[in-house]
Structure 1
Amino acid sequence: MTETRKIAAILVADVVGYSRLAGVDEDRILARLRTLRSDLIDPTIAVHNGRMVKRTGDGSLVEFRSVVDAVRCAIEVQNGMVERNAGLPPERRIEFRIGIHLGDVVEEGDGDLMGDGVNIAARLEGIAKPGAICLSEDAYRQVRARLDLPATDLGATQLKNIAEPIRVYSLQVGVLAQVKPPIPAESHTEEPSALSPVPDKPSIAVLAFNNMSSDRELEFFADGITEEIITALSRIPNLFVVARNSTFAYKGRAVSVTRAAEELRVKYMLEGSVRAASDRVRVTAQLVEGASGRHLWAERYDGELGDIFRVQDDITRNIALALQVKLTVGELARLWEGKTTSLSAWAKFVEGRKYLDEMDRTNVLAARRLFEEAIAIDPDYGGALTLLGITHWWEARYVLEVPMEIALGRAEDVVRRLENLGDRESGVHYLRGYVAFIRNEHDTAISEMEQAMALSPSDTWVLGCLGQVCIFAGQAHKGIEALTEAMRLSPYHIDWQPYNLALGYAWVGENESEAIRLAEEYVRRLPTDPYGYTNLAIVRAFFGHESQAAAAIATLRRRNPGFGVKNLRRSERYMRADDLERVINVLRAAGLRE
């Protein structure tokens, strides 16, 4: 029997006190469970793209590709049970405990799942209160910024038959609980004017294409098409393109195109759908004027799955024509540089990119495996090589499995492989700049990032990284400008962008209230990241709030007592030694240990 190892979001649910309920009236409880499954549970799982792996008597084991989907499903089920239990005496209520974990599982040939990922989810379910949902830290990290109900941090918890303690978060669900959409764009910037439409060039957002196929496994296919179109559009010099992490925030939400355009502050929206069956695919795309909802251009493409790369190219070119954006021959050639013609390699790349977005240890390592598999299929796949290099850079800075020099050497090997493919791809400059940053070669890093921006002017990752490097190089105003633009392109921004913007404001002594708000927001979103607390302490101390800086470090010492000055000396890449010493002295004064 064949088996496959993968990362998955696992949900385990069980009925509270099933034996007691069955002992009172087994026929009635079984009939109610069958009704709940057909009317509530199974349809909710299907809506949120879940796969019922197996039922275990009164329990269920369900697999999801996304933790967000798993939590949405769990909350909807628990809310539904609150409604159905209203007015019933306690002894007749059916209540569920639910545990959710993101981790490594083994899928057997018959579709069953085994491994630590399943075991941890089952143990989390066992400690959940009736009507509640328990999340592991790995799962909570995926949804912490999108919960519309409080999460209780239960701390490091020793689960039965699990070797190491796991930090657990509990959600007590009520009828109004839900996973909320990302924070509105208005709350992400210093003032409303920063979000006003860009007047000197067309602005566009690409919504996630709908998967119209019955096979939920093809969800990645629709997402991948969307992401590739966004990447290609971001390389067009005279086009303002909203980042994919912001447009994907609307996935699965019943939001009109006009409303999405208003919230994202763009003039045009692209929406579409994908239907695949056997070896055939149909893609539809519509370009819509945001304010009026008027269709400016629409097209349908039918062909073989292998034609999908041509379809992506056609859609991008047609958008440029419709928006009257003129492209040179060189600019046209660059739109699809770094791509592959292998569907299997592309599928690995798309899945890996989703893991890389989270930028934590588990996900970075999972992404690396997928990029390596993609490159094994297509050794000249520039896009996969670039992101593989980023995983090595991330390891070099934060030390995951190998020493920094080894990881950095691997990243440099990837740079050389990319250079051998040609030097027109923005990812080459992007990765060179990252490596130079770790090498404390700040001027080189800034130059490389700027060259990457010239090739991909709407790339929020590159903009954000340019801003970060500038701040550490003592060019805080330039860094603030780049980060502000990155957050304008991505209203539902990546967490480390406001982190660095807060630090930039602190270095120049400007926008005190906004700097502190951004630093505090980061800590709320990532309460397990020790650097969030040191950043908050630096920002507070630079603005003269020493007691509040000490409070941030006190929280850090409770949460991560082993973290100290040594970690900052290893990871923080300040160009000027005096800047690093100023930071360390401020943190020592706030109580940070060596």
Structure 2
Amino acid sequence: MERRLAAILVADVVGYSHMIEVDEEGTLTSFKAIFEGMISPVFSQYHGRLVKLMGDGILAEFTSVVDAVQATVKIQETMAKHNSLLASNKQVTFRVGINHGDIVIDGEDIHGDVVNLAARLETLSLPGGMSISEKVYDEVRDRVDIRFCDQGIHQVKNIERPIHIWGWAPQACTSKQVTSERLQQTPPRGVSTPNTTPQPTDFGTKSDEAHDLFLRGRELLFGFQRDINVFERVIPLFRHAIALDENYSSPYAALGMAYVLNYINCWSGDPKTSLNQAKIYVREAIKRNENDAFAHYANSVVAMWKKDHESWAQAADRALELNPDFALALNSRGAVYIYSGAPLMGIPYIQRCIRLDQLETQQARHFLGTAYLILGEYETAAEVYKKRIKLNPTTDLTRAFLASVLGHMGEIEEAHTFWRELKDINPAYSFENHISKQPFKDPAEAKKITSGLRKAGLIA
């Protein structure tokens, strides 16, 4: 069979199945008009050939990887301008994967591992962006004025070897262009690096002991084990830190976080009282140090569970203003968008959060899965939720959301397996209690989760 070298582009529409479900005729008409009016002309401009359309999917080949990458940027920028004029439920957003190598020619069609990997790269792309193989990155990084982010090493389906992936999206790569070195991770303010040894005053306190108590409590609070025992251990640590230095803001913020977790999990006392206590402690933290990014992050979390979306966004923005690389604040800012009905805008924040801090922000994967759940991207949501469960084997909420996704997918037996695991972990688990607290701005989004569990026969 004939073979040739080519750059392969695979694209699909984010949330297409949900769009079809809501308005099949309008979605098909819109997709056709967009392809003919905005995408096909760009293919021609950059010497690309459409191989085939596959529902919402596009397969194209280019003679040059530079042309393929530049064509993608042109298309995504054009689509961003087009979407800015539309209501959120009418917007069409593409993910793109690009690979380069030897392809098999079959008439007008093409096949081969290069095509298969391009399709896998597309699933890992940020909405409105692209993911490229390391081979493509090596060929274009010095030839195009585009800022790529290191997406790390991935094991993808039906590809034996791990793949190093690079990505681009307008909101995701805002620093200088990344070379073959990994993204430089700016530590939260006051965290030691090999070249800096901060004194206690760098952390907002002159007391070594107070700071040590805060760090010990924070490590417990953000660990994988979250239960009444952890809550009862961290409260005295933070209060002792405050007793040693009552003007040290961070222990107040950490107390606020502890009481938020008590509210969510109903470990002790009246949940509503816990949330109000959390708000008081966070206000005290900010009063003592308005420039404490951790305090503003904690404030955003309190606003989240009070379902005050405006204050939630403002607090997260303030934390990021103080520390643009604060992973937890990126997580919170992305979650605002997700729970406010704009998951596509939230995904880049969550993805960046995960890249910056693989350990502390495993919860970010729950929010990322929820974004894809809302979009109706059930297979992607299931994959993300399963990764979160691997990182935190005792999570009950993520198992509940995963069971819902599997219900939507018709994977009933697997949904029951994860539900049984959930009940083994937390025999007293109440989905009704958990879902009622979720800060969805639109109740219809919460109903989507409930309907998935009903489809699986897990709730009445």
Q: TM-score, normalised by structure 1?
A: 0.45
Deviations 1:217-271 (A, max 9, x none): xxxxxxxxxxxxx32278xxxxxxxxx9xxxxxxxxxxxxxxxxxxxxxxxxx53
Deviations 1:119-145 (A, max 9, x none): xxxxxxxxxxxxxxxxxxxxxxxxxxx
**Partner of 1:468 in structure 2?**
335
Name 1:477's counterpart in structure 2. 344
How many angstroms apart in 1 are the aligned matches of 2:207 and 2:454? 53
Count of paired positions: 295
1:139-158 to structure 2, matched below 5 A, reads none
Residues 558 and 346 (structure 1 numbering): CA distance in 2 closer, same or farther, change over 3 Å? Answer: closer
Match of 1:415 in 2: 282
Q: 1:537–1:233: structure 2 CA closer, same or farther, 3 Å change rule?
A: same
**What does residue 209 of structure 2 align with?**
344
What SS does the aligned partner of 2:184 have?
Answer: strand
Contact 2:210-2:245 within 8 A present in 1 as well: yes
Does residue 148 of structure 2 align to residue 186 of structure 1?
A: no
1:437 maps to amino acid: M
CA distance in 2, matches of 1:493, 1:393: 17
Cα distance, 1:363 vs. partner?
Answer: 2.5
Equivalent of 1:572 in 438, 450, 454 = 438
CA shift in 2, pair 1:589/1:514, >3 Å: closer
Return closer, same or farther for 1:561/1:395 CA change in 2, 3 Å cut-off.
closer
The corresponding residue for 1:399 is 266
CA distance in structure 1 between the partners assigned to 2:251 and 2:284 by the alignment: 12
Tell me if structure 2 keeps the 8 A contact 1:458–1:489. yes
Among 445, 454, 460, which residue is 1:588 paired with?
454
CA distance in structure 1 between the partners assigned to 2:286 and 2:392 by the alignment: 36
CA distance in structure 1 between the partners assigned to 2:335 and 2:324 by the alignment: 17
Choose between structure 1 and 2: higher strand proportion: 1
Superposed displacement of residue 418, structure 1: 2.5
Asked if structure 2 preserves the Cα contact closer than 8 Å seen for 1:507 and 1:542, the reply is no
Per the alignment, residue 204 of structure 1 pairs with 184
Per the alignment, residue 552 of structure 1 pairs with: 418
Q: Which amino acid aligns with 1:495?
A: Q
Pair 1:554–1:343, CA change in 2 (3 A): closer
Counterpart of 1:453 in structure 2: which amino acid?
Answer: L
- 1:90-113 per-position Cα deviation (integer Å, ceiling 9, x unaligned): xxxxxxxxxxxxxxxxxxxxxxxx
Residues 557 and 367 (structure 1 numbering): CA distance in 2 closer, same or farther, change over 3 Å? closer
Q: Which digits, 9 at most, give the CA deviation of each residue in 1:376-418, with x for residues without a partner?
A: 1101101121112111111122221121111112112113322
Within 2, Cα distance between the matches of 1:492 and 1:441? 28
1:522 correspondence with 2:413: no
CA distance in 1, matches of 2:237, 2:297: 20
- What SS is found at the alignment partner of 2:352? helix
Structure number with greater Rg is 1
> What runs of 5+ residues in structure 2 fail to find an aligned partner?
1-150, 157-162
Question: Do residues 309 (structure 1) and 289 (structure 2) align?
Answer: no
- CA 1:493–1:523 in structure 2 vs 1: closer, same or farther (change >3 Å)? same
Distance 1:499 1:548 in 2: 19
Distance 2:218 2:429 in 1: 30
Measure how far apart 1:567 and its partner are: 2.7
- Tell me, what secondary structure is at the counterpart of 2:189? helix
Alpha carbons 1:188, 1:487 under 8 Å: kept: no
Corresponding residue number in structure 2 for 1:452: 319
Cα deviation for residue 444 of structure 1 reads 2.1
Partner of 1:563: 429
Q: Comparing 359-368 with 371-380, which one deviates more in the overlay?
A: 359-368
Larger RCO: 1 or 2 (CA < 8 Å, sep 6+): 2
User: In structure 1, how many angstroms separate the alpha carbons of the residues matched to 2:447 and 2:311?
Assistant: 23
> Distance in 2 between the 1:444 and 1:347 partners?
31
Corresponding position: 1:534 with 2:400:
yes
In structure 2, the residue matched to 1:382 is 249
Pairing 1:28-43 to 2, within 5 Å after superposition: none
